[in-house]
Structure 1
Amino acid sequence: MEYITVDGIEVPALGFGTARMNGYDEQYRAVSTALEIGYRHLDTAQMYGSEEAVGSAIADTDLDREELFVTTKLAPGNRDTEAVHDSTAASLERLGMEYVDLLLIHSPNDGIDHEETIRAMNDLQEEGSVRHIGVSNFSVQQTAEAMKYSETPIVTNQVKYHPYKSQADLLAFCIDENVMLTAYSPLAVGDVSDDETLTAIGQRYNKSAAQVALRWLVQQPMVSAIPMSSSAEHIRENFDVFDFELNDEDVRAIFDLQDGLPDDLADRLDI
């Protein structure tokens, strides 16, 4: 496993996502499999309906809580002070935990001042039920505003990022500001599997197109990825991306699948 150091903590660069799963049984089996394989970074959210399954799967292992990095997110309606406190308490009850490692604002909500939400999240940090905070689906400007409002570091911005979806401006910002960019849908909901460029690159490393896509992400500074799968085979395959490294030519070829690699980002990636 490789790690990203941010706000004095080491976060596993590869995590396991739980969005779009079909009910408790599938969620529980998938998370249990992921934990058995070696995933220690788990991502859930109030609106996913997976917190209970994540908590149960963890409880049924012999893992110590401190070995895990668990993220959940505030649902869109839970943004005022009271809702932040109450909904986080409910999340912790479903998870069966005393704290979460990371609490995110799930997406921007123009109807609620982000400052109020972030202040309430800071209060939870002071109480100890939340260790770190962040945002999701925020623009560069919105992320900068969140950083201004918060008394503590904004640890991550979780956004859709994969070989066909450029996040060049945000990634440059995150590298400069020491903010982790967490990539959800890193395999483009499976679309990368048949990609000719990724397949050709993978053949040189004896890896699948999906493994190449994940390696491309976690090889970038400040980027973590949280692939989701209910298939034990795919969960294991996605985890097997730390025994090879893409060369600069391969990295550029994958950036060419989107908008290419801007010069300023290439400098930050040292390519």
Structure 2
Amino acid sequence: MDIPLLPLCDGNQIPMEVGDTKFDQRLVDLVKTAIEKGFYHLDCAEMYGTEEEVGRAIQESGVPREKLFITNKVAQGIDDIHAAIQESLKKLQTDYFDLYLIHIPFFANSDADFQRAWKSMEEIKRAGKAKSIGVSNYLRPHVKATLAGATIPPSFNQIEFHPYLQRGDNYLSWLRENGLQVGSFKGLTPAFRAPDGPLLEPLARIAKAHDTTEVAVLINWIIQNKVVAVTTTTKPERLDEYAQALKIKLTQDELQEITDVGSTYHFRTSWPEHFEADDRS
């Protein structure tokens, strides 16, 4: 499977479609199946509690480490990032991560907290334990605080992004202007978590026009917006559906319709306690 690559500001490249490893007890077999089908970008996190299973699946897959792109994230270990990454590397049975992220910004009470954590991330990159470093769930003030003290700027921000949460105030373009590429999680929200929203009819019509599914249309919309699509599943057959997104190309009119109709509706799935109901930041 030929997954397009997105260049990062540090010279590395990231595959634009991801197999997220947050599965059930069938995790090992599912990850092996995903790898067999060509999903070589695996998105992990210590928060998921599945690192040992993913590590075993990677070893059993027989695919050389250099062919894989492994993302991991630190949250619980934020007070000692050096120890946290060492434990994660051990569980995943690898010497380095291709991309290592600070998972959430809510640990910090000041700009200095962001900058102290980022200093550790820079040290990890210099030590070769992560090829690229970045953040996740960061809003503009969090990124600004991090950049203010950074010697090596973050190259990536993984955020909730989909047609019902396109982020206000030109946030994505601002991130790119500051050297950060963007990854999307919960990108299939209009199909699974808000299926009765205003995109119900447009997605069905566009999917029919391309002889595919609404899920594939949503993933293609994300990718054509130059955002890395992170997907999850507990069903092996879903992997083939996700792969269809790379075989279609939505027209500019279709992309714009999804964007315009999606923007009329607001639906946030993650960390809602940190946001007002109408906050689209």
- Say whether 1:250 aligns with 2:250: no
> Cα offset for 1:259?
2.0
> Cα offset for 1:110?
2.5
Question: Share of identical aligned residues, percent?
Answer: 28
> Cα offset for 1:170?
2.1
4+ residue runs over 3 A deviation = 191-194
Aligned equivalents of 1:144, 1:31: Cα separation in 2 = 36
Q: Secondary structure at the match of 1:163?
A: coil
1:211–1:238 contact (8 Å) kept in structure 2: yes
2:12–2:132 contact (8 Å) kept in structure 1: no
- Say whether 1:99 aligns with 2:102: no
RMSD: 1.8
Q: Secondary structure at the match of 2:30?
A: helix
Partner of 1:190: 192
- Say whether 1:9 aligns with 2:12: yes
TM-score by length of 2: 0.85
2:78–2:84 contact (8 Å) kept in structure 1: no
Aligned equivalents of 1:51, 1:180: Cα separation in 2 = 25
Aligned equivalents of 1:178, 1:120: Cα separation in 2 = 20
Deviation readout 1:6-55 (Å, 9 max, x if unpaired): 12112110011123x22xx3221221111011111110101101111221
Partner of 1:263: none
Give unmatched runs, 5+ long, in structure 1.
261-271
Aligned equivalents of 1:149, 1:42: Cα separation in 2 = 30
Partner of 1:40: 40
2:163–2:263 contact (8 Å) kept in structure 1: no
Partner of 2:173: 172
Deviation readout 1:163-220 (Å, 9 max, x if unpaired): 2112252211133233211101111172476722111111111110000000000011
Partner of 1:266: none
2:212–2:244 contact (8 Å) kept in structure 1: no
Q: Secondary structure at the match of 2:162?
A: coil
Q: Secondary structure at the match of 1:60?
A: helix
Partner of 2:143: 143
Partner of 1:268: none
For 1:1-271, list aligned pairs within 5 A: 1-6=3-8, 7-19=10-22, 21-22=23-24, 25-75=25-75, 77-80=76-79, 83-108=80-105, 109-111=107-109, 113-168=113-168, 169-188=170-189, 190-191=192-193, 195-221=200-226, 223-259=227-263
Bigger drift between 7-16 and 171-180 goes to 171-180
Aligned equivalents of 1:60, 1:207: Cα separation in 2 = 32
Aligned equivalents of 2:143, 2:92: Cα separation in 1 = 27
User: Against the structure 1 CA distance between its residues 160 and 254, is the aligned structure 2 distance closer, same or farther, given a 3 Å change threshold?
Assistant: same
Higher helix residue share? 1
Give unmatched runs, 5+ long, in structure 2.
265-281
Which residue identity lines up with residue 173 of structure 1 in the other structure?
W
Bigger drift between 225-234 and 161-170 goes to 161-170
2:114–2:142 contact (8 Å) kept in structure 1: no
TM-score by length of 1: 0.88
2:154–2:179 contact (8 Å) kept in structure 1: no
Deviation readout 1:48-86 (Å, 9 max, x if unpaired): 0111122111111221111111111111x4223xx1111
- Number of matched pairs: 253
